[in-house]
Structure 1
């Protein structure tokens, strides 16, 4: 099996029903992976899974509603996936959410409570649940999608930026665990952070045909970057932030 090949790889995608998730499912299936998708929105998840199956006849793409705020449910998802397919080679974390305010002092701490669950707790649970399985793989990857705002927070985005920064730190800690597990031979698995400014997709462009979306990453480009993490050795991407927009 060639370096970086996704043929036969089993990749789980958390938060798979949104535009970025749909693009990722398509690209992973196209690259030959068995794709195991999860989302809280049953109807949108079914649509995303069907679209990926239809686009790539013969591809194995499954969908499951998993409560990623429940650690045991997340562990059960990881365990059942590895048991069913015999391996687990990746977890792509696309669970998103945004809350902001007009100014720093107008920050609503209820936004923090919401974002802490969506952007941090789901990272904690998926990383803990998939850690062992990814280490058992010969090409395990944990991929977090983050935002440039985590490194350069703005006044009205305090809760969002702090949540993203915490998620990045947690993922880099997972990378350190992979580094230590690899010993002198270097890491066998990798935890990687892909950093964007914001995402754009076809529906957004249709709604705002005159908008420039400067510095935004198209969801198809993000999907390419996600699959590209498997084309590099674990040592090249483990514990790294890979910037898809200009670093601040």
Structure 2
């Protein structure tokens, strides 16, 4: 059922093919948005797009193969969406990845190189590519999914935590751009961070039926929180971390 905040909105979802992406595409489509997903796995993306489209009465949900590690390709994606649909009202960043180590001293800098591309470079490219379109929108939102590890790194998680912390800092800088652009009247667009401990979905529960997944956020609950960002005024959420798990 469409709600007012997202009805008619045009939302891009980066990393749309995974479980969180599938849930997010479906929730945004259900709210009446036009949704454009991207993923580095074309088959997984196509399946997610089809599920959202056919599960929501033929909603406008499309997939676009984009190399988010290439700034020009990402800029072209943003331009293409605005040209095809007339506006861009949101970018949801779900691109993720994880690598850990047994101890701090055994941390591999190869893990950092891998995670820096996934967790940081894709945020840099999508934010730089979409910020002008989002500023033109009357309800523009850049939504980053982050992790509690960014605020409380552990010895075995140095590369991952540092990547998430860098992504948060970059997103908060974008929020400062929106704040300054809004002037005395306040921002009309917002950069928002949703913080989870980790995500869980039905397949994980099926694989580990005895696991409690304490503090984890279900992908459907995450999708609901993502949609809820548009229900709140830009000035309330811009440059903010919204915690979906216990704050460390």
Shorter chain as denominator, the TM-score bin is over 0.9
Residue-pair matches, total = 247
Please tell me whether the aligned partners of residues 4 and 230 of structure 1 are also in contact (alpha carbons under 8 angstroms): no
- Mapped to 1, the partners of 2:178 and 2:131 lie a distance apart of 9
Please tell me whether the aligned partners of residues 6 and 31 of structure 2 are also in contact (alpha carbons under 8 angstroms): yes
Q: Deviations over 1:55-75 (max 9, x none)?
A: 101200000110000000000
Please tell me whether the aligned partners of residues 139 and 188 of structure 2 are also in contact (alpha carbons under 8 angstroms): yes
- Mapped to 1, the partners of 2:214 and 2:4 lie a distance apart of 31
Please tell me whether the aligned partners of residues 3 and 31 of structure 2 are also in contact (alpha carbons under 8 angstroms): no
Aligned to 2:157: 157
- Mapped to 2, the partners of 1:6 and 1:145 lie a distance apart of 19
Displacement, 1:5? Answer: 1.4
- Mapped to 2, the partners of 1:97 and 1:210 lie a distance apart of 24
- Mapped to 2, the partners of 1:20 and 1:241 lie a distance apart of 19
- Mapped to 1, the partners of 2:86 and 2:179 lie a distance apart of 24
Is 1:125–2:125 an aligned residue pair? yes
Misfit runs of 4+, over 2 Å: none
Please tell me whether the aligned partners of residues 3 and 231 of structure 1 are also in contact (alpha carbons under 8 angstroms): no
Secondary structure of the residue aligned to 1:145 is strand
Please tell me whether the aligned partners of residues 3 and 32 of structure 2 are also in contact (alpha carbons under 8 angstroms): no
Is 1:50–2:50 an aligned residue pair? yes
Aligned to 1:178: 178
- Mapped to 1, the partners of 2:57 and 2:120 lie a distance apart of 35
Aligned to 1:15: 15
Please tell me whether the aligned partners of residues 8 and 34 of structure 1 are also in contact (alpha carbons under 8 angstroms): yes
Q: Deviations over 1:1-24 (max 9, x none)?
A: x99610100000000000000000
Displacement, 1:239? Answer: 0.1
TM-score (norm 2): 0.98
Task: Report the aligned-residue RMSD.
Answer: 1.0
Secondary structure of the residue aligned to 1:157 is helix
Q: Deviations over 1:166-225 (max 9, x none)?
A: 000000000000000000000010000000000000000011111110000000000000
Flag structure 1 segments of 5+ consecutive residues without an equivalent: none
Aligned to 1:70: 70
Aligned to 1:104: 104
- Mapped to 2, the partners of 1:67 and 1:25 lie a distance apart of 19
TM-score (norm 1): 0.98
Please tell me whether the aligned partners of residues 19 and 219 of structure 2 are also in contact (alpha carbons under 8 angstroms): yes
Q: Deviations over 1:111-147 (max 9, x none)?
A: 0000000000000000000000000000000000000
- Mapped to 1, the partners of 2:122 and 2:95 lie a distance apart of 7
Aligned to 2:92: 92
Aligned to 2:81: 81
Q: 1:215 to 1:11 in 2, by over 3 A?
A: same
